[in-house]
Structure 1
Amino acid sequence: MATAPDQMTRRLDRYANALRDQGTITSNTVQEAFATIERHKCVTGFYYRGEHYDVPQDATPGEDVLDIIYSDASLMTIMPSDRSMPASSSSAPTIMGPMIEALDLTPGMRVLEIGAGTGYNAALIATITGAEVVTIEAGSAAAAGAAASISRLGMGDLVRVVHTDGYDGPGTEPGGFDRIIVTVGIAGVPPAWLDQLAEGGFVLAPTAHGGMHPTMELHHDRSVRPRLWSDFMTAVGPLRPAEVIGREPGATLPGTPGSIPNVLAPLETDAYNDCWFHLAAHDPRTTRAYLEGTDPWGGMCAIVADDTRAAWLRTNGSVMHTDPALGAKLAHLVRGWDDAGRPPLTQWSGTLTQAEYAPRPLLIPSAWSI
């Protein structure tokens, strides 16, 4: 009979192989990290599809719990009652994997992580680099949980959890980080982060654009390059000030919509997201919004003028609107993307500029071009 450790080894191998097969990870080093770090040791409980699951650490969890943990599921671990306090989760491996691949890690690299979460991501990174990872967490409960996870994994010599606000970065820590990875949705980058980079280093951060948080590569020379379409739980405090964000995405708007059919042929997910990035680069009113009485899976990309005037791009290639002029504007921009050859978001580049009205200095992507 196989021993419990043998069973876990096989489970980890299946998990990493599945991520490799679906293209979530593409390199041997990242695959080996996912096959090594035991994700179940990083969570003592989580919410999934409306249910809460306990994860005992004094015994091997049940197969039903392990099946969820070792899947592509995002595991919500902390849901604060006060929205001003940070929530926490273990992000879905389908976004963790591509982000780690985008870091292009090599042994010996120093990495700073903003948003420790459960500690799982930092442990994966340290397994690849074999060097110290400093991971910062603003939430006290999440910071304590991440430190406990690192202890259970036996990685205290490589991963150090710091409880502080992410805006200030590593504080008195020595700079020279080869990579800074951010695992929470932010409005922009504090200048201090760029000052902490080593030569040739970069920040990889989910940064506000079009009501979502595409993952962007940000450099010390203030150049910006989108890498992945993504969305994350939003940061609290000076990393995502209301003065910069303006209208919060996700509103449900009323109205009896008009329609402009057949603007495009139906769009697959990647193409829809590429067009969304294009729209936000051309019109800052682009955001994520819902039209009352319609299926959100039919498309949430919208240009919102106010609480009654908006237009939506639908995945079936049509435009719906509560204002004919705004609908025509959206259709024009969508056709422009199509006429340009449907450029993917990775073809765009931008520049970091100082945000207006931010309570503390914040650099936001702007001046987009292809």
Structure 2
Amino acid sequence: RAFAAVPRHRCLRRFRYRADEYTLAPDTMPDEAVLDIVYANNSLITHTGRDGDPPSSSSAPSLMAKMLETLDLAPGHRVLEIGAGTGYNAALITHITGAPVTTIEAGAAAATSAADTIRALELADRVQVIHGDGYDGHPPNGPYDRIIATCGIAGIPPHWLDQLLVPDGLILAPLAHAGVHPILTARRDDHGDLVGRVVIWGDFMPAAGHLRPAELFHHDPAHDIPAARLRPAEGTDTEMTTEQYHDLWCYLGIRDPRITRAYPADPTFDPGHGACALVDPTDGAAWIHHDGTMTLTGADHLHDHLATLVTDWHHAGRPPATAWTVTLRHADTGAAGLLLPHHWTLTSG
């Protein structure tokens, strides 16, 4: 009902889809070809980052729906959203809850556009758009029943927990892991520890500022790997579905912190075959692909180690990503203290 009630095209002022850019006039119905793009299950780039603001996008509606269902919203729930984007998600949330939504956006232009959208949808009495990086949350409008992040973050700020109603409060966030951002739910357990559980595999544009400090990542997936001698290497030759490949990716990231998403500076490399890699800043990189084949640049021992980890996953029964939980503990990361993944546990599913 929420998706039927909130028109997505009214939340989009300018967007990029594939190689084309589109500009929509406010209060004007787009033509049929544009509507087909807007109302298909497409992720749409809304800010490229060329203006100095962080890049931003409107996620695929199917992913938005899965996240909102997982958030377990109920009438009256007060929600804090980190990453306003176009304002579309906040509008969906308040339609479901009938309650106030506070949404924070790091990009100045995106925040202004989202606020304009919320006013145009006549929701300004229930949705407040704030320009900021989201690290501190927004205490004046708390406490909140739910907190949702729609950008990739490195960890959970303790400030969010201070603003979350307990014991039923829930955080849903794409958490940095192995170069991507699988979506986790996070709650306090009976011992007071914050425990996350992988619920949806995904990837998101990274958050700006203190929510994703660059010093926590030895490889930025946006930076290509030098590929002086990119060559095929012996693999497992066991083809995997997309879901199984993500399950493997999650497992590899738990076993070795050097696992990441990576692309070599070589036009012959096809990212569609799978970009999960073991990257060593000194020795090179090794990739595992959907069909079980492997690619290598640099030292042979990287291939051998990655092949061993892949074999271990098979011997462990190919555990799915959603079978893992993780305890998040405080880590001092300079100006931004975050609760970061500390200990992973394989559960029954």
TM-score (norm 1): 0.87
Distance 2:20 2:97 in 1: 36
Deviations along 1:316-367, whole A, 9 cap, x unmatched?
1122223221111111111111111111111101111223444311111121
Partner of 1:278: 251
Partner of 2:79: 111
Of 231, 236, 241, 1:268 maps to 241
Report the more deviating stretch, 37-46 or 58-67: 58-67
Matched, 1:86 2:61: no
Distance 2:289 2:13 in 1: 40
Matched, 1:67 2:36: yes
Letter in 1 for 2:274: G
Distance 2:43 2:152 in 1: 15
Give the C-alpha shift of residue 222 in structure 1.
1.1
Matched, 1:204 2:172: yes
Letter in 2 for 1:226: V
Distance 2:300 2:218 in 1: 24
Secondary structure, counterpart of 1:233 in structure 2: coil
Equivalences for residues 168-247 of structure 1 within 5 A: 168-175=136-143, 177-199=144-166, 200-220=168-188, 221-247=193-219
| Contact map agreement 1:267 1:315 (CA 8 A) in 2 | yes
Distance 1:315 1:236 in 2: 31
Of 269, 278, 284, 1:309 maps to 284
Of 228, 242, 261, 1:288 maps to 261
Partner of 2:317: 341
Letter in 2 for 1:44: R
Please identify which structure carries the higher helix content.
1
Letter in 1 for 2:90: A
Give the C-alpha shift of residue 248 in structure 1.
0.7
Give the C-alpha shift of residue 59 in structure 1.
2.1
Distance 2:332 2:76 in 1: 38
Q: Aligned-residue CA RMSD in angstroms? A: 1.5
Report the more deviating stretch, 41-50 or 272-281: 41-50
Query: Structure 1 residues 82 and 283 mapped into 2: Cα distance closer, same or farther (>3 Å)?
Result: farther
Secondary structure, counterpart of 2:28 in structure 1: coil
Give the C-alpha shift of residue 164 in structure 1.
2.2
Report the more deviating stretch, 278-287 or 348-357: 348-357
Distance 2:66 2:108 in 1: 28
Give the C-alpha shift of residue 258 in structure 1.
4.3
Secondary structure, counterpart of 2:140 in structure 1: coil
| Contact map agreement 1:216 1:228 (CA 8 A) in 2 | yes
Secondary structure, counterpart of 2:109 in structure 1: helix
| Contact map agreement 1:253 1:307 (CA 8 A) in 2 | no
Of 230, 237, 252, 2:225 maps to 252
Matched, 1:151 2:119: yes
Give the C-alpha shift of residue 308 in structure 1.
4.4
Distance 1:143 1:296 in 2: 32
| Contact map agreement 2:142 2:164 (CA 8 A) in 1 | no
Deviations along 1:129-152, whole A, 9 cap, x unmatched?
111111111222111111111111
Distance 1:357 1:318 in 2: 37
Deviations along 1:84-116, whole A, 9 cap, x unmatched?
x31222111122111111101111111110010
Distance 2:101 2:123 in 1: 10
Tell me the number of residue pairs that the alignment of Structure 1 and Structure 2 aligns: 336
Taking every aligned residue pair, what percent have the same amino acid on both sides? 48
Partner of 1:320: 295
Letter in 1 for 2:137: G
Letter in 1 for 2:151: V
**Structure 2: runs of 5 or more not aligned:** none
TM-score (norm 2): 0.92
Matched, 1:330 2:298: no
Partner of 2:109: 141
Deviations along 1:8-38, whole A, 9 cap, x unmatched?
xxxxxxxxxxxxxxxxxxxxxxxx1111110
Distance 2:307 2:120 in 1: 54
| Contact map agreement 1:286 1:303 (CA 8 A) in 2 | yes
Distance 1:50 1:155 in 2: 33
